[in-house]
Amino acid sequence: MCSISPRLWSDILVEVRQQHPELARPWFASLEPLEMQHGVLRVQTTGTAHHAYLTQQCQQAFNSAAQAVIGRLMTIAFVPPAHPDSERPLTFERETDELQLNPDYTFPNFVTGPCNRLAHAACAAVADSPGHVYNPLFVHGNVGLGKSHLLQAVCHKLQDHGQAPKRILYLSCETFTNHFVEAIERGALHQFRYRYRHVDALVIDDIQFLSDREQSREEFFHTFNTLYQAKKQIILSADDAPNGIPRLEERLTSRFNWGLVVRIDSPSLETRMAIVRKKAAIRCANLPEDVLYHIAASVPSNARELEGALSKVLVLSQQFGGAVNLQIARQALGDHVTGPGRLIGISDILDAVTEWFQIRLADLQGKRRHRSIALPRQISMYLARQLTNLSLEEIGGYFGGRDHTTVLHAVQTVTDLQKQDQELEHVLTALTAKLHEKVS
């Protein structure tokens, strides 16, 4: 048995960051190498969620980083934190199929904007005094808008409270129904009921899946009543408001409406940029504004896809020594929208217009007002409006942060001009055809 020098361990962390920037987290600094024996390096982790993240997602990355640094076959064994009993607050029975909390899904990592401010405030209030403010709390919104993130943030906060240990059950609706079916099959309904009805907080994600399960609905109804009467906190999420979930009977929808129902909307461009900035910081990456902008603008509405886009950019940047610039971002996301012929993106339009008019991108995005630049700029804005789903505000952002009235004016000018100017009409037709051809 031997120990490993701090220098070697920090080299391993650097290697992981370089090879897998999408996995790296700032809290890796708190990992502590213990000892090395028979090619196994034991590493102490500092939290249950950290341990789960490392074993489930980072094992391979750490093994190969250790191999690269130490120069021989190595395995890293992540040691779970030893909880004194008083610090064992989370789930009172860990089952393998129970959802683990994602260590990234905390309140500090959640970006608030007009789309989610209310949901965030409600979750924060519930985390501060569970069972007393909004009960039940029902959060709904489309996929990828941060519902699971917020629900888990509440669980993290309850877990960290440092008060009397809380029994928290966080799980997907599907797990609830699976447990229920298994309990019936095994004749273990009594244990099932004990388990679900003796918690301080029951947090169920994607409750809309109850709609297809009549027996589970019945069971959930009674679970709900018991917990509610005991003033225990219930938090639910769904893809729609209670009344919009099909086949959910009135006795359930009305109960879901007893507490507070909050909706999360799609994030604006500004919020998306803040989300990408936050996600980059979590990955220890510092991105220039134009890259943040490009990523945020290339994913119109969904925070989950933003994360995928960011990972693509970070992974590609490794081939260029870790530097991230707009060119790399454009290369990484060029094929971002796939499917039967991808959508035309703003970068396609910028490329086509600069090539056609033989001008530089910097001029198109700059302040010069000479007609030789101003007209191509207006044409680009016009084409962006016609051929992409970007809002006026978003288009303006691509042209040196011009505001939406400037874009509107450009679109109007080009629309009017082409009626009188055959030459311009021809240019627009040719550019449009070229763009469609490029993505088909």
Kindly state the smallest distance separating residue 147's Cβ from Mg ion, in Å: 5
> Which of the listed partners (Mg ion, ligand ADP, none) does 111 bind, with a CB threshold of 5 to 8 Å by partner kind?
ligand ADP
In 3-state terms, what secondary structure has residue 44?
A: strand
Sign of torsion over alpha carbons 148, 154, 158, 159: positive
Q: Which 36-65 residues touch ligand ADP, going by CB under 6 A?
A: none
* Region near Mg ion per CB under 5 A, out of 93-101, 129-137, 141-149, 325-333: 141-149
> How far apart (Å, rounded) are the C-alpha atoms in residues 254 and 26?
44
Rounded CA separation 326/381 (Å) = 20
Shortest distance, position 208 Cβ to ligand ADP, whole Å: 12
Nearer of residues 109 and 178 to ligand ADP, judged by Cβ:
109
Q: Which is nearer to ligand ADP, 153 or 291 (CB)?
A: 153
Per CB under 5 A, 148 contacts Mg ion: yes
Nearest in space to 359 (alpha carbons), one of 344, 346, 376, 343: 376
Candidates 71-79, 128-136, 137-145, 226-234: pick the segment binding ligand ADP (CB under 6 A). 137-145
- Least CB distance to ligand ADP at residue 145 (A): 4
Beta bridge partner(s), residue 77: 42
Q: Record the tokens describing residue 35, joined without a space.
A: 């000892």
Q: Which is nearer to Mg ion, 147 or 195 (CB)?
A: 147
Contact predicate 34/42, CB 8 Å: yes
9: partner contacted, choices Mg ion, ligand ADP, none (Cβ within 5-8 A by kind): none
Longest dimension (CA), the chain: 85
Our finding on whether 172 is near Mg ion (CB under 5 A) is no
Residue 197's φ and ψ, nearest 5 degrees, are -100, 5
Site string for ligand ADP, 138-167 (x = CB under 6 A): ---x-xxxxxxx------------------
Nearer residue to ligand ADP within complex by CB, 149 or 377: 149
Helix boundaries (H) for 325-421: 326-333, 346-357, 361-365, 371-387, 392-398, 404-420
Of the candidate residues 9, 78, 110, 224, the single one contacting ligand ADP (CB under 6 A) = 110
Q: Report 89-108 residues binding ligand ADP (CB under 6 A).
A: 105
Identify which of 104, 122, 141 has the alpha carbon closest to the alpha carbon of residue 266: 141
DSSP 38: T
Among the listed residues 52, 171, 201, 275, the single contact to ligand ADP using CB under 6 A: 275
Applying CB under 5 A, does 100 fall inside the site for Mg ion? no
The pair of structure tokens assigned to 69 is 């640094």
Distance CA 419, CA 423 (A): 10
Measured from the Cβ of residue 314, the count of other Cβ atoms closer than 10 Å reads: 25
* CB nearer ligand ADP, residue 117 or residue 132: 117
Q: Does 298 bind ligand ADP (CB under 6 A)?
A: no
Nearer to ligand ADP, 137 or 411 (CB): 137
Residue 165 CA to residue 104 CA, distance in Å, equals 22
**Residues near ligand ADP (CB under 6 A):** 105, 109-111, 116, 141, 143-149, 275, 278, 303-304, 307
**Residues near Mg ion (CB under 5 A):** 147-148
